Structure formats: structure tokens, C-alpha cells
Chain A
Amino acid sequence: MHLTFSHRETWLHRVNPTLKLAVSVLLFVAALFVHNPNVMALLAAASLLPLLATGHPPLRVLLYASPFLLVFISSASGMIMFGTGATLWFELGLIRITEESFYRGLHLGLRSLQVAAVGLAFALTTRPVALFYSLMQQLRMPSKYAYSFLAALNMVPLLADEFFTLRQALQIRGAGPGRKGIYGRLRMYALPLLAQSIRRAQRTAAAMEARRFRSGSGKRTYYYVYGWSRIDALYAVSIAALWLLAWLLGTHYPLLAATDVR
């Protein structure tokens, strides 16, 4: 959640959050059916493009996107070195790089890049509050789930505070690192934090019910109202156009030798 960082609101922020979520998930499913690395490369590029329209300064976007390089390498390398294939390029011990495995690995790296870019664009332009209000209004998500999730999110800073308090308390009592092993130390932190969280959740539920919070009893009104607008159409059409373009260019003007990595 990058809510604490200031940024401009762009048209991507004004797209209906439910639509944005649905499109982001659909793009992942669609990517599963792309087996042509030429198309995948263009799709990855097309998915990186919206990052420029997130309203965050380019340097910060670059910082957020820096793990993409790692994602690309981590997705590609295993398949490149240990994938199956007929045309051998290089062999060293267990490592066996073939033409097929190389292109398949490249394809995987590009696919991960595409998925990561879509996810980052979504995260950078959608506030959780907006998403859950929209899910309640557009998809009729029961309000007890939506408000509970938002309440749980608000507990994160409290949890962080408790963690630091706990650490200081443990340090004062001489329970520093190196004692009791990893599992012991994990329990030392996890148990009190979880127990406190559960108690707090119980108190919150009691407080909400005491204020007559009920799911599905009569018509709810919403502080933030989300509906559909022309921006939603623009968003859907532009994403579809980018994908169509990538598909056509990748199929008809391939740059790589491989056209199907299966």
C-alpha cells in the first residue's frame, strides 16, 4: 500500500476499482493461453506502459519496478538451465541449455514481467477503501466481509507498534537473538502478537455489533459511491486495443525464432 506517498490522481485512479480488479485477473488468465514469446514480449511491454500513467514520479515507479528484474531472472533461469529440448546449445554437468528450453525460459520471464506489471499498476492506482466500497456496490459483497477487511487493515500500524514494544521488552529481559533457536524466537513473537490481534478482533466485533452493524439488513447507504463512467469504457477499450495490437504484431512480425514454446 503506497497510500502514504503523495502522488497525482490520474485517470487510472478514476476507473471503477471492481472493473480494474476484474481486468487485472482476466489478463493473468489470458496470459496463460499465450505460448508465443513474440506476443508475450509485446504484452509485457504493453503492461509496463500503464505504469507511466499511475501519477507517481518516474523514479519512484522505477524503484517499485526494480524487483521485476529479479522476477524475470528467477522465472527464466530454472527453465533455461533445466528445461527439456532437442537442440543442444550448451552443457555443463547437470545444466543443459537447449534452444527450446531457452525460449521457454525467456517466455516465462516475460510472462512474469507482464503479470507483475499489471499487479503493480493496480496496486499503485487503487486504494483498499475504494476497492471494497466498489465491491460492495458493484458485486454485492456482504458488508461484514468488506468492513472487516478494512478494519483488519487498520490494525496493521497497531500490530507494528506492538511488535516494537515486544522486542524492547524482550531485550530488556535479556532475550536477545541467538537464544532458543529460530523456532523458539518465532514463537516468542508470533504468540503474543497473534493473541493480542485475536483479542482486538473480538473487541472490534463486539463494538461493531453494539453499534448495530448488520450485514444485509435493509438498504445500506455508502459514504463513497462508485458507479460506471466513460473512463471505464476508455480503460477497457485501451487495454483490449493494446492486447490486440500485441497479438497481431507478435504473430505477423516475429522477432524471435521460436513461435510456440510448448
Chain B
Amino acid sequence: MSTAMPNADRPKGLTLADILVTLVVAVVFGIIYRIWNPMYDILKPLGLHAEQLSYGMWFMAGTFAFLLIRKPGAALLAETAAAALEAFMGGSWGASTLVYGVLQGLGAEIIFAAFLYRKAGPIVTVLASLGSAFVSIFIDAHYSYIDKMTAWNYTLFVSMRLLGSVVIAGLFAWALAKALERTGVLSLIRPASAKDYEALG
């Protein structure tokens, strides 16, 4: 995936085109989020947290949008918008989705910001997905009293969610963005050479 350095002639903030691309991607993910929602609820009553492996799906809009746009605010905007759409379509967690969305977006955004928005390799993407995951676990600790589960169950819960985020919102998001890069469509958003990307590894 291209550029390590932002293009010199590219405006720093989000342009109208950036926002539109981010939101269109967010809408696609919002629909996926909404479809994902009952699947998760069906698996969950087993209590063995297999459903937590799929939780990373709900962090994907943020990391994926950043990989496309590579600008401050893209991850937060995408994750918020996708969550808002899920709530609008009557998702079963209602308005709470919006709170989760904003904070999970911030979780990913902070990681990308820590690398000054210059790194977009698999490692940073995985870290950002973990940022979202930790924030979601923090809210859940207040919402679902997850710290009041038996120790083995609690550990299983946390590790399954982290693993799911690494695989889906981290590695899968990165692979998908890389594949999209090869179609050439991303040169519309940020024209750059492929050489910089190779340097990132």
C-alpha cells in the first residue's frame, strides 16, 4: 500500500471527497454491523464466548477507513458513522451502539495518531484494532459487570475478543485494503508510488 509520507500537495484535513469516501465505506460496514448483530446474539447464550471471536468485525470500519484515507479523523468518523447506521436500522443495542462506536473509533484513532498517521502497516493496524478492543472491554466492564464472572470465564472472554480483533479488524482489514490498493481505485484518494509501501514491510 502506498505512501509512508502524505502527499505534499494533499490537503491536511479531511476534504469533501475524503469524507464522502469514508462515509460510504462506513455505510457498507454499518449494514454488515447490523447483519452481524443477531448472529452474535444467537451464539452468546452458550456462555463460552465463541461469539467474542467475531466481535472484531465491529472495529473494522475504523481501521479500514484509515488505511484508505490516511488522515486524522478518518477512523473516528467511519466507526461513529457505521455505529450510527447500525442504531438507525434498529440494531438490538440501540443508542448504546453510538457510545461504543465513538469510543472504539477514538481507541483506534489514538494508536494511528501515536504513529503520527504515517504508518499503515499490518502491525500498526493490529495495534489500532486492539485500541478499539480495549476501549470496548472497558465499557463492557461497566455495562455487563464482566469483572464479576468467574476467573476462567473472564479470561476466556477477554482473550477471545482480543484475538478476534487482531484477526478481523487488524489483519483482515489490512489485507482487504491492500487488495483494494491493487485495483488502483485508491489512487483516486491518494496518488503515490508503490515503492514507499514496500519500505514499510
Contact = CB atoms under 8 A, between A and B. Distances in A.
Interface of A: 1-2, 21, 24-25, 27-29, 32, 64, 67-68, 70-71, 73-75, 77-79, 81-84, 95-96, 101, 104, 108, 111-112, 115-120, 122-124, 126, 128, 144-145, 148-149, 151-153, 155-156, 159, 187, 190-191, 193-195, 197-202, 204-206, 208-209, 213, 215, 261-262
B93 A119 contact: yes
> Top 4 closest A-B pairs, CB basis?
A119-B94, A205-B17, A24-B95, A74-B44
Interface in B120-143: 142-143
Contacts of B113: none
Interface string B66-104: 001000000001000100110111111111111100000
Interface stretch (B4-12, B18-26, B158-166, B191-199): B18-26
A213 B17 CA distance: 12
Given A111-B143, A122-B87, A21 B95 contact: yes
Contact of B185 (A32, A78, A199, A206): A199
18 contacts: A25-B98, A32-B143, A68-B92, A71-B93, A75-B144, A77-B46, A83-B150, A112-B92, A116-B92, A119-B94, A122-B87, A124-B90, A156-B31, A191-B180, A194-B176, A195-B183, A201-B20, A205-B16
Interface in B10-47: 15-17, 19-21, 23-28, 31, 38, 40-42, 44-47
A204 to B, nearest CB: 6
Contact of A122 (B21, B95, B99, B143): B95
Contacts, number: 189
Contact of B21 (A83, A126, A201): A201
A29 to B, nearest CB: 7
Given A79-B148, A104-B148, A198-B188, A27 B24 contact: no
Nearest to A187: B179
Nearest to B17: A205
A194 B25 contact: yes
B93 A116 contact: yes
A197 B24 contact: yes
B200 interface: no
Contacts of B115: none
A198 B68 contact: yes
Nearest to B18: A205
Given A112-B92, A191-B176, 9 more contacts: A116-B93, A116-B94, A117-B94, A119-B94, A149-B23, A197-B28, A201-B21, A201-B23, A205-B15
B24 A200 contact: yes
Contact of A213 (B16, B93, B150, B180): B16
A73 B45 contact: yes
A71 B145 CA distance: 16
B114 interface: no
Interface in B166-189: 176, 179-180, 183, 185-186, 188-189
B139 to A, nearest CB: 9
A215 B38 CA distance: 38
A82 B20 contact: no
A28 B96 contact: yes
A59 to B, nearest CB: 16
Contacts of B149: 78-79, 82-84
Contacts of B180: 191, 194-195, 198
B86 to A, nearest CB: 10
